[in-house]
Each structure stands twice: as C-alpha cells, then as structure tokens.
A and B are shown apart, each in its own frame.
Chain A
Amino acid sequence: MIGYNRLRRFAPLGVAAVLALALAACAQSYPNSTFTPHSDLGRSIDFLWNRLMFFGTIVFVLVEGALIYVVIRYRRKSEDVTPPQTHGHVILEITWTLIPAAILAFIAVPTVRTIFETQAPAPANSLVINVYGHQWWWEFEYPEYKFTTANEIYIPKGRTVDLVLHAKDVIHSFWVPQLAGKRDAIPNHTNHIWFTPDSNMATTVWNGFCTEYCGDSHGEMHFRVVTVTPEQFASWVTRQQAPGFFGPPAAPPPTAIASASAAGAATTKSDSAAPAAASTAAPAAAPVAPVYGPTASPALLASYVLPHSEVPEYAIPHTPLPDAIKFDDKLTGDPAAGEKLFVGAGTCNACHSVSGNPLAVGTIGPNLTHVGSRITIAAGMYLNDKAHLSRWIKDARIMKSGVLMPTLGKGQYDPQTKATMPAGLSDQQIADLVAYLQALK
C-alpha cells in the first residue's frame, strides 16, 4: 500500500521532532522539568516515559496519518458515485485488536516491574524524614537526628532518603519534579516514597510543590529541597540540632569567646533575656551543643547553610508584596526586644517553637528555631527578607489566603474576620520581631 509506505517514511521524522522538543525541555530554563531526573526513581520513571513516548509517537503518526490519508484519498469528487457498501473486514478487525494489545504488553511488563521495584521497602540505612502536610505549609522531622524544620529540607547526595508522609488536616501531595514522582500525604494514613539523589549532581536547590488540591492557598504550598554533599549535610545537621541563637555573630574565635558572650549580653540591653544571659558561658564548654541564647559557638556559626548567593534564581520567590500592607521599612529592630515580644505581646509562642526556649513550644505553626537561615517564608511564597517578613507578621491573612496565622498589626484589616484589629503590634515591635527571627540563623 502506498499510504502505508508513505507513513513509514514519516514515522522517524515524527519521533525526531518529539525528541527535539524533549531535548529543548532539558534546557536550564525549565527548572522543574521531569525530563531531567536526578535520582534513581526519577530515572526509572523516565525510562517508562521514554517507552510510552516512543510507542505513543508511532501510534500518533500512524493513526493521524491514516486519517488524513483516507480523508484526502476518498474525498467526494462527484455526488453521483455510490461507493462499495462494505460492512467490515474480520482479518482487519483482529489485526487492529492484536497490534495494540502487543504494544501494551511492551508497556505493561516494565511497568509492573518498576512498580514492585520502586514500592519495595526502602533500604535499611535510608535517611528517614517525616513529612507532615499542613494547610498550607510543610513540616519536616528528621527522627534520626531529632530535629524539626519547615518548608525546606537538606538531603545528602548519594544516600537514599525515605520520606514518610503524613497529613495534619486535609490531603496534600509531595512533589519534587526533578527528584521523584508524587506521593499523597493523607490524614490517618502513612505513605512512603524513597529515592537516592545522584551523588554526582551539584549542590543546589530544587522546587517542591503540593499537588493535591487542599483549599484556599493550595497554589502557594511550596517547599525547597537542597541537595548537598554528605559533609555539608552533617554540618547542617549539627546546626539544626542546636537550640536557637539570635545574637550578632561572635567576635573572631577562639580567643574572643568571652567577649562574644559579653557582646551578646550587651545587645540584650536588659535583664529580660535572663535565660539567654545565663547561657553565655556554655559555648566554650560545649561548642557544638549550646543552650538557647543570643550567641552560638563559633563552630556552630561556621556550620553549613546554603549561602543565599548560591540559591538559583528559580528558587527565589517573586510573589509581589500586597499594596494593602504599609510598613515603615526604615525601622531597625532589636533582636532581644523581639525575643521578648515573641513570647510576650506577640504571642508567637502559642503556635511556634524555638528550640531551647522553654516558653516557645507551640506546634500549630512552623518550627522557627533556625528560620533565619531559610530561603523563603510562607511555604515558598515570599523571600525571607525584612520587607516580606515584616508584612507577613503585620497581616499574614492578606499575604496568603486562608492562613491560620493571625493578623498581628495594630489597626490592620483581617480579611477572615472582616474586622480591623483594635489592638496589636506597632511597626517598631514588628521590626524587633523581624530582627529576632532573622537572627535565628
């Protein structure tokens, strides 16, 4: 048949065109591409995808080609011709039943094999991370290292990570397109997804998304995954395990530890930071495990955090600031005053924890022990800087629809209660809180 030969000639062209598109999709400008997997699981999926794409392209070209061919070849030229009144053809029917069945076998066999491979229990030495989906942020707990963080995880390259998924309210779904497929986080269920990030990739940040519709701000429930070397990871872990510290960096170590403590104490200005002041002697004795306080040991301060300069452009949120929230950006805050407000007038501790501070043990909102070292706030929605953080504290409910985080700024409009806050924090108080939170590196 002429038509068949003609189609056969076109098939490779079609495959080439699709491959070209797929290659184009690998370019750096597609930071969340599923076509450039960086893990074993990602590659298993990609292998199936390529096979599906291969057969899909062949079927597409053959069917559409045949359709175009018959429409053109058998177009009506005269109203007077009655075509042969055929009713069917048994051999043809059997053929076009069996060929798709055969193609599907080529898809089904590797599919089932991959299902069983990727859903086997994770290897014994995996890094377990408990993931808790909340409306609309992510809580991450590292049970092996006994610390909790939010909206940002570091994972060591080359070590299998076993994500154990839970949800605290409604169903969410965990997706880092470049590293793995999705897995739902479901209340009253425990789910797993595990993969091994490639050991030869760069230290960088990947974007993660919630992919199960979970209410108002589903579109703003992001997270970041930082893939680091095992050494960087170990160093990062020591920081995360340590209690919060919020003073200015200590003077050059090791000779100036005492003066650093003094500087820390000086910044607190008053005896309100009594627990902090009491702890200033500790860093010298136990450099990697200071108690909560204004300063940390030099070793801890030197521990690894991905420098903001190394955060790729696509991981930096560009969400514009809402015009409705006015804030005097020229105000300078005092971390120690902020710490006082955190457990005092701000009542932040009702929902947030800062490890080491016995008064800040709330678990409703994200753990803020090292919030200052995170790239974003509000689950990847805003850049973690003064301008965004201050407005977030002032009126989070305008910043992000539906959030539990209350409107704290005095005289601010709360879109959920549809009322103006009669009392609340002044801009100076908010600036103090921002200074404190930003200092919690």
Chain B
Amino acid sequence: MATSVIETIPAHLKPFVPSPIPTTVQTYGTSIWGWITTTDHKKIGALYLFTALFFFLVGGIEAEIIRAQLGGPNRHLVSAETYNQIFTMHGTTMIFLAIMPLSAAFFNFIIPLQIGARDVAFPRLNAFSYWIYLLGGLFISIPILFGHGPNAGWFGYAPLTTKAYSPGINIDFWVVGLQILGISSLAAGFNFITTIINLRAPGMSLMRMPVFTWMAFIVQFMIVLAFPVVTIALFFLLLDRFFGTQFYEVASGGDPLLWQHLFWIFGHPEVYILVLPAFGLVSEVLPTFSKKPLFGYPVMIYSGILIGFLGFGVWAHHMFAVGMGPIADSVFGVTTMLIAIPTGVKIFNWIGTIAQGQFKATSASLFAIGLVSLFTIGGISGVMHSSPPADLQQTDSYFVVAHFHYVLFGGSIMGIFAGIYFYFPKMFGRMMDEKLGKTHFWLTFIAMNLTFFPMHFSGMLGMPRRIYTYDAGQGWEAFNQTSTWGAYLLFVASLFFMYNFFKSLRSGRPAGPNPWGAGTLEWTIPSPPPPYNFAVLPNVTSRYPLWEGKQADIESARINQQSGRSAEELGIVLPYNTIKPFLAAFFLVLMFSGLIVGHWLIFASAAAMVLAFYGWLTSPLEPEHH
C-alpha cells in the first residue's frame, strides 16, 4: 500500500507518512436540516453525486423503454407521442441532469482539495447552484409522468417548438426548465473560475495544477461562454411562446436557422463540457495506477485548451444537411477535422503514461482504459462525420447515435465511473468492493458495445434517428435486436454498481488518506476530509507533492493527514450554514413556474426571492476573524 510515497519521502519523515488507516470513518451527518443549509463544498459535491446518479437512473429507464420499443419492427409498446417525450427526456436528462451534474459533483468535491483550498470561492453561491439544479431538474422531469413531457428533442429545433406547432405545455416546461438549469451552470462556472484563480495554495502555479482541475478550469470557461448563447436562444423562444413575439415564427418570416446556429454555438462546446471533465479524471487515474506522472503534462493542458477553443468554431458541423453552401461546409468540415488532432494527442499521451509504468487493473483504471478505447471509436466516427458530403449519409441516422454514445457513454460515463471508483474512498472514507467493481466494468464494457456498435450498421443501412418504430424487412431487425439485448445487459451492469455503491457506503473497508498511493494534494488529507480540508495550507513545490515533493510538501502532508482535530481547535474559520441559498433557489424556480401557472405567481415569488437574496447578501458568510 502506497509504496511510492514511502520511497520518495526523506528518511526522517518516514515514521509519519503514511499514517495508520483509521478503524472508524467520519460521516457528513444525517441531519436533513444540515444538508439543506450546508455550504461545505464536500457535502454539496455529495448532493450533486446522489442527485445526478438518481437522474442517471431515470435517463437509463427512459433508454430501456426506447430500446424495448425498437427491439423489433412495428412495436407499439408506447405510442408515438409517448416515445417522443421519452427520447426527448432521455437526451435532456442525460446531458443536463446526469452527466453535467456528475461532473459538477467532482468539481465541487475535488477542485478545492486538489488546489489546497478550504472551500470554493463562494460557498453560498455553490449551494444555490445545487438547489437550482435539483429544483430545475424536477421541474423539467416531472411533467412526463403526467403525459406532458417535453417532446421536441433535446435540441428543440424551431419552428417545431413554437406555439404554432407545439401548442401544448410540453415545450413550456422544456424552455423554462432549461433556462432555470442554465442559471445553475453559470453560477457554478463563475464560482469555480474564481476558486481556481484565487484560492490555489502557495506554490501551486498553473503548470503545477492537477490535470483534472485544469480540465475543469477549461470547462468553466466554456460554460460561461456557451451558456449565455443558449440562454438567449431560449429567451427568444420563451418570449415567442409566452409573450407573442415572432423570433422563430415562420409565418411572420422568422428564420428557423437562427435557432440552429444559436443552439449549436452552445451545443457543440457542450459536448466538450461533457467530456473534458472525464478526460481530467482519467488523467488522474492512469498515472496513479501506472505509478508514473502523466505523460506530456504540458501537451495535455495545451491540447485541452485547444479543444476548448476549437470547440467554439465547429458548431455548424451539426448542420451539414441544412444547405449552408460549399464555403461554410468546407470551413466547418476542416475545423472539425482539426479538433481530432488535440484529441488524438490526448489518447496517445494516456497510452504513453501507461507505457513503461506499472499498470494495475482496478475498477477505476479499467474504466479509464474503457474511456481511452471507446472514445477512440467515437473519435474515429467523429472524423467520418467531419467530411460534409459523407455526413449527408450519416447525419440524423443511427450512425450518429452510435457515434455520440461512444463519445458520451464511452467517454464521459466511463470516465465518470473511473472517477467514482477512484474518489469514492476520498469522498466517503470507505473502499468500494473491487470484485463487484470489476464485474460492473466488464459487464458495462461488453453491454455498451453490444448496444451501440450495431447502431453504426443500422444507421449506414438507412435507419433514421428519432423514429418511434420502423417497418419490417428494412434490414434493421438484427442490429436493433442486438442493441436492445445490450441495453438490457447494461441495466443489469448498473445494478452491480448500485449495490456496490450503497453497500460500500455503509460497510466498505476504511480507506485512509491515500489508499491508491496517488501523488496529488487531495490524498494528503484524511478521508473523508475534515470540514476545513487542510489543517495547514500546503506549500506546493511540484505537480505530484506526494511523489516528487520537496521538504515543504512533505511537511504539510504530514500534518494534514492527521485527523481528529476540529476547526475551532485549529483556529480555522468556516462559513455558517444557511438556508438562504435554498430559499433564493426555491423562489427563483417558483417565479419561473409562474410563466405556466399564472403571472401572479411570478410577482409573488419574485418578491420572496428578492427578500431571500437581501437576507443572503446582508448576512456575513462566516464569523469574523480573530
């Protein structure tokens, strides 16, 4: 256990590092009031994790219904109307309510620990972001239970979403719900940017920052640049639907492509918002289990920045069939191809990290390998769509469905699972069951390929996307049957994860500060970390303080891993718990619901929200310093 730590530590400090693994494990407490009023980034991270896993399950059930319907030709398990709501909510749930918040769980939990901070820059804003996410998520998810779920796809193309073609309240929930969720992402984005810029421990220059934090940093910039665009697009739609403006009304000469451009200027960066955090997690996992620093650290950072940058210049590759003309098609085709270069570089560097290392197969590292291998497939099919004429055969067919599931399941979800197995001991102080974890990996890996690989074929053999059923004799039956079996197996695999997760939460083996022998700052403190994280703020002299650290790194690590003392004893000031962020979020969501319920609710909740914000802004964050 943690041999590399001992080897790189000066002889006189060896007795102190690593400390013995504790027999008892601290918890975050079970008081509901404590959870609602918390401003602790770790508890908020845990809230994000539980909520996002719940929504992941919801999106998964939606996926199972989709696959059950498509398992054979002309099945009418659900009607066309219901199917359309289900596929819309599957996409919306997985993107906005599962993958993004799962990443946010790691941002919350890991970033302050990796940079040696006691919390995020704005702890109450952080709580506010979470409550907006939860309430907004419920707002957009519940209508489907009553048959009024959003039904125009997660991309909501105008003019289908306008009142003229979607007169029901289904789209109202979607446009308002996404607007609410955007507030959560934007608030969190500004919070993390400020945190990373201002709260790094002494000595942690940007080029010493752990790669996960780096990728998270890039993602926050992408969020604050991309989300305002979709906010505007949604705001136009909201005005059209509720106040009779004509932004997208074709009868009044509106241009449907306005929505598409605005949506994809957000939508394509969104893809990288979904996948870069997973890249970051894998960049922590692979070095740890290869006992070797990340290969090409600066190149990994630059390629991440380049992906983020290029991600804003390729949006129209979602629109090669709309007839933008040869010049636009060529430009967007070539910029899309360019993005393959930094992405490829990342894959090669991960392989370079394992090469000449000491690779140990654990649940976390297997999922990381899963990401590298599956994302490669998604990347290759991505290059296939980057050629606009070739894309004319691929776009809006099941080939694209295969592609982005290799990117989002093979990339984001595999990376997130790697992150969960890797950071679970840090978050909850207990180890997950490795045997169950590896079973979960192999079942997921097999089932994932069984589900999504055949879609390459059904797509190229002519099967369009988003169809609620298909006719017999089109040559698609066998591929769809296989996909459906794969999806069922994927559900079985998830049961292994759920069982392991809850079992380990209760009775997993105590982990100790650094069960994996990792090298970054978050592993220098107890698991789970005390409310103040670091008893003394570390002085950072290298990228992997526990592996390559000098005297100063080792000294702070030695002190920080000793648990048991309270913040008061150490003289550390922590923010107060407060209900105000919850109240502000609650009334904000209520205010938005007024658009659907009645305008009186807008004004009543706006007044209550202003009061909540006033109370928030006029009350101190934390006790005065002594």
* Chain A residues engaging chain B, CB cutoff 8 angstroms: 21, 25, 29-35, 44-45, 48-49, 52-53, 55-56, 59-60, 63-64, 66-67, 70-71, 73-76, 79-89, 92-93, 96-97, 100-101, 104, 107-108, 111-112, 114-116, 118-119, 135, 165, 169-171, 173, 175, 177-178, 180-184, 186-189, 191-192, 207, 209-220, 313-314, 316-320, 401-402
Q: Are B464 and A175 in contact (CB under 8 A)?
A: yes
- Residue numbers in B under 8 Å from A73 (CB-CB): 355
- Residue numbers in A under 8 Å from B166 (CB-CB): 215
Q: Which residue from B322, B383, B461, B471 sits with its C-beta under 8 Å from A186? A: B322
Q: Are A93 and B299 in contact (CB under 8 A)?
A: yes
Q: Are A34 and B389 in contact (CB under 8 A)?
A: no
- Residue numbers in A under 8 Å from B84 (CB-CB): 215-216, 218
Nearest B residue to A170 via CB reads B160
Q: Are B468 and A214 in contact (CB under 8 A)?
A: no
Q: Are A64 and B373 in contact (CB under 8 A)?
A: yes
Q: State whether the Cβ of B241 lies closer than 8 Å to any Cβ in chain A.
A: no
Q: Are B347 and A63 in contact (CB under 8 A)?
A: yes
Give per-residue flags for B35-49: 1 if the beta carbon is below 8 A from chain A beta carbons, else 0: 000000000000000
Nearest B residue to A112 via CB reads B330
Q: State whether the Cβ of B463 lies closer than 8 Å to any Cβ in chain A.
A: yes
Q: List 28 A-B contacts (CB under 8 A).
A: A25-B460, A31-B462, A32-B461, A34-B460, A52-B384, A55-B383, A56-B380, A60-B377, A70-B355, A71-B359, A71-B369, A76-B360, A87-B295, A93-B296, A107-B383, A111-B386, A112-B333, A115-B333, A170-B165, A175-B396, A182-B321, A182-B396, A184-B322, A211-B321, A211-B395, A211-B396, A219-B467, A401-B79
Q: Are B464 and A211 in contact (CB under 8 A)?
A: yes
Q: Are A181 and B393 in contact (CB under 8 A)?
A: yes
- Residue numbers in A under 8 Å from B383 (CB-CB): 52, 55-56, 104, 107
- Residue numbers in B under 8 Å from A169 (CB-CB): 159, 164-165, 250
Q: Which residue from B292, B322, B347 sits with its C-beta under 8 Å from A86? A: B292
Nearest B residue to A219 via CB reads B467
Q: Are A177 and B344 in contact (CB under 8 A)?
A: no
Q: Are A48 and B387 in contact (CB under 8 A)?
A: yes
Q: Are B333 and A48 in contact (CB under 8 A)?
A: no
Q: Are A33 and B475 in contact (CB under 8 A)?
A: yes
Q: Are B341 and A188 in contact (CB under 8 A)?
A: no
Nearest B residue to A208 via CB reads B462
Task: Please give the distance in Å from B398's CB to the nearest CB on chain A.
Answer: 11
Task: Please give the distance in Å from B548's CB to the nearest CB on chain A.
Answer: 7
Give Cα A25 to B458, complex, Å: 10
Q: Are A88 and B297 in contact (CB under 8 A)?
A: yes
A34 with B461, Cβ < 8 A, contacts A74-B355, A74-B357, A215-B160 known:
yes
Q: Are B356 and A30 in contact (CB under 8 A)?
A: no
Q: Are B81 and A216 in contact (CB under 8 A)?
A: yes
Q: State whether the Cβ of B568 lies closer than 8 Å to any Cβ in chain A.
A: no
Q: Are B376 and A63 in contact (CB under 8 A)?
A: yes
Q: Are A104 and B341 in contact (CB under 8 A)?
A: yes
- Residue numbers in A under 8 Å from B457 (CB-CB): 21, 25
Task: Please give the distance in Å from A14's CB to the nearest CB on chain B.
Answer: 12
- Residue numbers in B under 8 Å from A209 (CB-CB): 462, 464, 467
Q: Are A401 and B462 in contact (CB under 8 A)?
A: no
Q: Are B326 and A115 in contact (CB under 8 A)?
A: yes
- Residue numbers in A under 8 Å from B347 (CB-CB): 63
Q: Are B467 and A177 in contact (CB under 8 A)?
A: no
Give Cα A396 to B274, complex, Å: 43
Give Cα A76 to B389, complex, Å: 47
Q: Which residue from A34, A74, A210, A219 sits with its C-beta under 8 Å from B393? A: A34
Q: State whether the Cβ of B547 lies closer than 8 Å to any Cβ in chain A.
A: yes
Q: State whether the Cβ of B509 lies closer than 8 Å to any Cβ in chain A.
A: no
Task: Please give the distance in Å from A113's CB to the nearest CB on chain B.
Answer: 10
Task: Please give the distance in Å from B257's CB to the nearest CB on chain A.
Answer: 7
Give Cα A30 to B469, complex, Å: 17
A35 with B74, Cβ < 8 A, contacts A93-B299, A183-B323, A219-B80 known:
no
Task: Please give the distance in Å from B141's CB to the nearest CB on chain A.
Answer: 20
Nearest A residue to B329 via CB reads A115
- Residue numbers in B under 8 Å from A184 (CB-CB): 321-323
Give Cα A19 to B337, complex, Å: 24
Task: Please give the distance in Å from A311's CB to the nearest CB on chain B.
Answer: 12
Give Cα A320 to B466, complex, Å: 20
Chain B contacts with A in 355-397, Cβ cutoff 8 A: 355-361, 369, 372-373, 376-377, 380-381, 383-384, 386-393, 395-397
Nearest A residue to B388 via CB reads A115
Q: Are B337 and A88 in contact (CB under 8 A)?
A: no
- Residue numbers in A under 8 Å from B152 (CB-CB): 213, 215
Q: Are A48 and B389 in contact (CB under 8 A)?
A: yes
Nearest A residue to B157 via CB reads A171
Q: State whether the Cβ of B203 lies closer than 8 Å to any Cβ in chain A.
A: no
Chain B contacts with A in 323-342, Cβ cutoff 8 A: 323, 325-326, 329-330, 333-334, 337-338, 340-341
Q: Which residue from B83, B157, B325, B361 sits with its C-beta under 8 Å from A75? A: B361
Q: Are B358 and A192 in contact (CB under 8 A)?
A: no
- Residue numbers in A under 8 Å from B355 (CB-CB): 70, 73-74
- Residue numbers in B under 8 Å from A220 (CB-CB): 80, 469
- Residue numbers in A under 8 Å from B345 (CB-CB): 93, 96-97
Give Cα A55 to B340, complex, Å: 13
Q: Which residue from B334, B361, B380, B465 sits with its C-beta under 8 Å from A59? A: B380
Give Cα A218 to B473, complex, Å: 19
Q: Are B333 and A31 in contact (CB under 8 A)?
A: no
Give per-residue flags for B229-255: 1 if the beta carbon is below 8 A from chain A beta carbons, else 0: 000000000000000000000100111
Give Cα A434 to B461, complex, Å: 35
Q: Are A213 and B393 in contact (CB under 8 A)?
A: no
Q: State whether the Cβ of B10 lies closer than 8 Å to any Cβ in chain A.
A: no
Task: Please give the distance in Å from B353's CB to the nearest CB on chain A.
Answer: 9
Nearest A residue to B477 via CB reads A29
Give Cα A96 to B340, complex, Å: 11
Q: Which residue from A79, A183, A191, A219 sits with its C-beta under 8 Å from B468? A: A219
- Residue numbers in A under 8 Å from B474 (CB-CB): 31-32, 207, 314
Q: Which residue from A35, A118, A186, A314 sits with its C-beta under 8 Å from B473? A: A314
Beyond the given pairs A74-B355, A214-B160, 13 more chain A to chain B contacts, judged by CB atoms under 8 angstroms and listed by A's residue number, are A25-B461, A74-B359, A83-B356, A85-B293, A88-B295, A93-B296, A181-B321, A188-B253, A192-B323, A207-B462, A213-B160, A218-B466, A317-B471
